[in-house]
Amino acid sequence: MSKKPVRVAVTGAAGQIGYALLFRIASGEMLGKDQPVILQLLEIPDEKAQNALKGVMMELEDCAFPLLAGMEAHSDPMTAFKDTDYALLVGARPRGPGMERADLLAANAQIFTAQGKALNAVASRNVKVLVVGNPANTNAYIAMKSAPDLPAKNFTAMLRLDHNRAASQIAAKTGKAVGSIKKLTVWGNHSPTMYADYRFATIDGAAVKDLINDQVWNKDVFLPTVGKRGAAIIAARGLSSAASAANAAIDHMRDWALGTNGEWVTMGIPSAGDYEIPEGVMYGFPVTCANGEYQVVKGLEVDAFSRECMTKTLNELLEEKAAIEHLLK
Ligand SMILES: NC(=O)C1=CN([C@@H]2O[C@H](COP(=O)(O)OP(=O)(O)OC[C@H]3O[C@@H](n4cnc5c(N)ncnc54)[C@H](O)[C@@H]3O)[C@@H](O)[C@H]2O)C=CC1
Ligand SMILES: O=C([O-])CC(=O)C(=O)O
């Protein structure tokens, strides 16, 4: 018997990432080739954006995806999130000319407060939320805090692009296949302060840190390359990463929903206090997923260099949190 369709809400659906994301969700790459989906698409109430969304929906129709059981266009999160099982919050306010970081945080705080409240009011009680729109960790924190009737653990931020970038850099450095890299993680904020950590990583059973054996490369090449990859792509493309971001969003949701078979992935999740990260901070951790739940990988050693890196990215998150806390009252 065929499965009952699930509802997937996507915000910023007419944007760059939306265009690289929706077709893959509708083709079953996110939730499985046997799982029908209903897409509930949200764009701003602006004629140009709504028209662009219509165009994307026409193209989705023209793909004749067998798993696409329905599709709706919305301009209000209260209708877009109705009964939704999955919510990918991609739409966010980009940084404009002369805008300071604090202005960006405040503009996005408004969006994610309203969207968190709407999820709280109308989404499925088991909704799985992934925030992609930047600053992703703090936006996810705001949405979570604005949805007190939903479990906090249902709110996550996207660190998977950083994870995938780190894996590719390690594959290039070692000459090994990217798919053979296990036990990699990225701690902290989706920003240049993130700490990509291959101390526990293995390739075909061998320790990556022994294969590389170069702490200078780690500190002076690997970490800055992964941390500044978003900016490097903007410099090269004139636009921020989109297909790779959509791909990471698919990876994140697929693994959360369908499981990782014991393998580690990185998710930004509200800290439960592990690794001395204060409770509630939306922080990248190594996790495994099974039965629709994630579990933090426990008991990893934190050496002095790692603690320094983990604290630096934590402090940035605490600063972002302090800058928006008054807006959550
Ligand atoms: N976490 C991550 O790893 C990554 C995050 N990003 C972030 O993802 C976000 C989206 O990127 P793009 O698709 O390239 O941007 P884009 O500008 O092409 O599209 C964003 C879309 O969101 C819509 N939007 C804005 N506010 C909205 C709201 N309140 N409700 C619904 N829709 C809204 C806009 O109308 C626009 O169509 C940006 O914040 C970007 O910085 C991008 C790459 C990686
Ligand atoms: O850097 C940006 O603006 C987009 C982004 O988050 C990334 O590519 O990691």
The DSSP letter of residue 261 is: T
**Pick from 199, 217, 218: nearest CA to 209:** 199
pLDDT at 258: 98
- Nearest residue by C-alpha to atom 8 in ligand 2: 230
Q: Copy the structure tokens of residue 166.
A: 């780190």
Q: Give me the interface pTM, i.e. the ipTM.
A: 0.99
Is-contact 149 118, C-beta < 8 A? no
Distance (Å) from CA 8 to ligand 1 centroid? 17
Distance (Å) from CA 15 to ligand 1 centroid? 6
Q: How far apart are CA 232 and CA 313, in angstroms?
A: 20
Pocket lined around ligand 1, Cβ cut-off 6 Å: 11-12, 14-18, 42-44, 49, 90-94, 111, 132-134, 136, 158, 161, 190, 240-242, 245
**Pick from 127, 124, 111, 120: nearest CA to 146:** 120
Mean pLDDT in consecutive groups of 10 residues from the start of the chain, 329 residues:
93 98 98 98 98 98 98 98 98 80 87 98 98 97 98 98 98 97 98 97 97 97 97 92 98 98 98 98 98 98 98 97 90
Cβ neighbours, 10 Å, residue 183:
18
Q: Which residues are annotated as a binding site?
A: 12-18, 95, 101, 108, 115, 132-134, 165
- Nearest residue by C-alpha to atom 1 in ligand 1: 132
Q: Copy the structure tokens of residue 214.
A: 């170069």
Q: How far apart are CA 196 and CA 218, in angstroms?
A: 9
Q: How far apart are CA 321 and CA 310, in angstroms?
A: 16
pLDDT at 1: 57
Distance (Å) from CA 174 to ligand 1 centroid? 34
Question: Any idea which residue has 């009964």 for tokens?
Answer: 83
Tell me which of 74, 163, 190, 252 is the catalytic residue. 190
- Nearest-ligand number for the alpha carbon of 15: 1
| Amino acid making up residue 316 | E
- Nearest residue by C-alpha to atom 14 in ligand 1: 16
Q: Which atom of ligand 2 is nearest to the CA of 162?
A: 9
Distance (Å) from CA 310 to ligand 1 centroid? 27
Residue 89 neighbours by CB under 8 Å, 6+ apart: 11, 12, 112, 115, 129, 130, 131, 132, 133, 139, 140, 143
Three-state SS annotation for 71-113: EEEECCHHHHCCCCCEEEECCCCCCCCCCCHHHHHHHHHHHHH
Q: Which residues are annotated as a binding site for substrate?
A: 95, 101, 134, 165
Q: Which atom of ligand 1 is nearest to the CA of 160?
A: 3
pLDDT at 133: 96
How big is the chain by its Cα radius of gyration, in Å? 19
Pocket lined around ligand 2, Cβ cut-off 6 Å: 134, 161, 230-231, 233, 240-241
Is-contact 267 291, C-beta < 8 A? no
Residue 206: its H or E element: strand 206-207
Give the helix ranges, DSSP H, for the chain.
Answer: 16-26, 47-63, 77-80, 101-122, 136-145, 160-174, 208-212, 215-217, 223-227, 229-237, 243-258, 304-324
| 326 catalytic residue (yes or no) | no
